Structure 1
Amino acid sequence: MSVRVGVIGAGIMGADHARIIAQDLPAAELRVVCDATEERARAVGEANGAYDIMIDPMAMLARGDVDAVLIASPDETHADLTIAAIKAGKSVLCEKPLAPSSEECLRVIEAEVGLGAQLIQTGFMRRFDAAYIEMKAALDVGKLGRAVMMHNFHRNVEAPEWFTGQMAISNSAPHEFDIARYVLGSDFRSISAFQGETDGPVAPVVMVIEGAQGQLVTIEVNNNAAYGYDVRGELVGEKGSIDLGSPVYAKYNLGLQSWERFEEDWRPRFAGAYRAQNKAWLESIQKETPDPNAADAWDGYYATLTAEAGVESLTSGVRAKIDPIEMPQVYADRRRR
């Protein structure tokens, strides 16, 4: 039986998710596309064969013919929509962030814990990227020995003039925060954030995170790298290291030179990860069991909490402690399975 999905938000990410659900996942039916702008909802819905389009997300959540909800609306709407969805009995895949603040994330967690069941998956798709999967597997089976360091580079072509170093931490870096925790299998103790100087709109930000098991994690976010979208990573263990690979579809050899193209944004680089993430979400709904590799509401909270500590460090110039609440039992039980 197919899972009938409603997508909230018909912007860049909502449109991509609608296409994946409609074209790449036979187990799903794109039932509704909902957006505050009717024209945008209609364009995405018609392009992907949605059964209906709507402009009121709460009305969509009340529908009996929608089993699950994918939230890709503006960040500030995520918490309220996620809470409303799970209270309506809908499974949720919420694009990151789960919420812009840790306090809002805790409201979401409180609502889910109150239900006594996990219905929320947070959209950290890198957990389903083939390169990160191989990196984590190499560590888990002992090939690298004990993890010592993990280096991460996140570079974009260009940021708007209003973009700030704080936004690099709160908007760009959460993917690095989550994938580092996931690959290392370790929480964090503290974060230190630094920003250089540049003549451009926003200078690169570098963060150093101390892991709970003594690992060091470095993260560079350069939102004005100019040359292309580029994500790199290296996991260093006591026995060796492993570099993150990226898919390369063509190599040019012309005029005594050899080169490869960079993409303009993140979507081509992680297209396979988005498909795998959404497939795992649908299968978890059908099995009524959270996917063991997917990020849950607790992971969404932890990434936002880490971002807040990073902004605090950048602002104050000193190391900031990462101090989460005690993990609720429902999330602890999942991690012991």
Structure 2
Amino acid sequence: MTVRIGVVGTGAIGREHIERLTRTISGARVSAVADIDAALAEKAAAAAGGARVAADVPELITADDVDAVLVTSWHAAHAEHVLAAVAAGKPVLCEKPLATTADDALRVLAAEEAHGRRLVQVGFMRRFDPGYRELRRVIAGGGIGRPLMMHCAHRNRTQGERYTTEMAAQDTAVHEIDAARWLLGEEIVSAQVIMPRATDHRFPHLRDPQFMLFETAGGVRIDLEVFVNCQYGYDIRCETVGETGLVRLPDPARAEIRSAGRVGTEIDQEWGGRFAEAFDVEVQAWVDSVADGAATGPSAWDGYAATAVAAATVEAQRTGAVVDVNLAPRPAFYA
């Protein structure tokens, strides 16, 4: 079976996924694309080997030549597009975040539960990265004893003028929020943000770096440095300290370079290179699950929980207070 994919949004991540589906992923092809920028959509359709440009997003989602939907549109539109896919009874992979508000994410949960079958997967690709999977295996297997603390960092080389202080929580930290929930098997119950001295390498409206503190229901303390103008590259770090040991995310494998009196390795400059393999595995697993008729990846509940924590983090940015995360009861549907 070849799964026919409709792609909503042909910006950078959309084009990358179209390339992946066309060149790397087996069992799928891009049949249609939609974007508010007609020129971008035409270019993306041609890159997909002759996919058609849909008249609009509703037409794409309900089309007979679309079996499943990949949502890579502007974040504020994610919930609307996912809800339309669920209403059409079509599996959907939504890039993070699932929604920009917890209320919108809850609407997705309600719609999917009413449908009666899981259709939604959220694009938390770190769950498909070999290093993160090894971290989870060690933690879940008791290799470091009971987890006590987690130290994380998310650093980007630079960000453009459209990037805001709130996006550090909603767009950037949301990856670590989901990864921490997944690695520890616990929900996050509070958030706090401390603002260190700001870097000069930023636009004036942005507070950068930020230091985020979280606590899980079981008392694990998590600290996360978000620094999106670090200048030197894209650098992701995660370390968990337990009662009997420590486990740390490995750096990406790189050849050692000896030159000009120094020894070193290259550093990724953007996220695409660092997580290319994870993206490949994630999208292939999604395509396989669509063909099998059973969603298996990060669920709408995971998307909701991460959005709720990110929302509490934004409030903590504004107030400086420790903000409680008040999750709705988890439906048995997502057990």
Question: Same-fold call, TM > 0.5?
Answer: yes
Distance 2:201 2:47 in 1: 38
Q: Which residue is 2:25 aligned to?
A: 25
CA contact (8 A) 1:5 1:28 kept: yes
**AA paired with 1:307?**
A
Q: Distance in 2 between matches of 1:17 and 1:164?
A: 25
Q: How far off is 1:272 after superposition?
A: 0.5
Match of 2:287 in 1: 282
Written as runs of structure 1 = structure 2, the 5 A alignment for 1:319-330 is 319-330=322-333
Stretch of structure 1 that moved more, 52-61 or 97-106: 52-61
Instruction: Give the equivalent residue in structure 1 for 2:310.
Output: 307
Matched-pair contact (CA < 8 Å) for 2:26–2:284: no
Give the secondary-structure state (helix, strand or coil) at the position aligned to 1:218. Answer: strand
Q: Is the 8 A contact 2:89 2:115 kept in 1?
A: no
In structure 2, the partner of 1:295 is 298
| Aligned counterparts of 1:182 and 1:215: Cα–Cα separation in 2 | 13
1:100-119 maps to which residues of 2 (within 5 A)?
Answer: 100-119=100-119
Q: In structure 2, how many angstroms separate the alpha carbons of the residues matched to 1:163 and 1:87?
A: 32
Residues 179-190 of structure 1 mapped to structure 2, 5 A cutoff: 179-190=179-190
TM-score (norm 2): 0.95
Distance 1:75 1:156 in 2: 19
1:228 aligns with 2:198: no
How far apart, CA to CA, are the structure 1 residues paired with 2:240 and 2:48? 39
1:285-320 deviations in whole A, cap 9, x for unaligned?
1222221xx211111111111011111112111100
Structure 1 runs not aligned, ≥5 long: 333-337
- In structure 1, distance between residues paired with 2:311 and 2:286: 28
Whether the 8 Å CA contact 2:139–2:147 is kept in 1: the answer is: yes
CA distance in 1, matches of 2:208, 2:52: 44
State the TM-score, normalized to the length of structure 1. Answer: 0.95
Distance 1:22 1:255 in 2: 42
Contact in 2 for aligned 1:150/1:218 (Cα 8 Å):
yes
Match of 1:165, SS?
coil
Identify the residue that residue 218 of structure 2 maps to in structure 1.
Answer: 213
Q: Residue 36 of structure 1 corresponds to which residue in structure 2?
A: 36
- The 8 Å contact of residues 33 and 50 in structure 1, kept in 2 or not, is answered as no
- What is the aligned-residue RMSD (CA, Å)? 1.3
Q: Secondary structure at the match of 1:19?
A: helix
Q: Distance in 2 between matches of 1:313 and 1:121?
A: 28
Say if 1:38 and 1:54, in contact at 8 Å, map to a contact too: no
Moved beyond 4 Å, runs of 4+: none
Q: Distance in 2 between matches of 1:197 and 1:235?
A: 26
User: Structure 1 CA distance, aligned partners of 2:133 and 2:90?
Assistant: 29
In structure 2, how many angstroms separate the alpha carbons of the residues matched to 1:78 and 1:161? 22
Aligned-partner Cα distance in 2 for 1:62–1:315: 41
Aligned partner letter, 2:217:
A
State the partner residue of 2:249: 244
User: What residue identity is the alignment partner of 1:321?
Assistant: D
Q: Which runs of 5+ in 2 are unaligned?
A: none
Aligned to 1:111, the other structure's residue is in SS state: helix
Contact 1:204 1:220 in 2 (8 A): yes
Comparing 119-128 with 165-174, which one deviates more in the overlay? 165-174
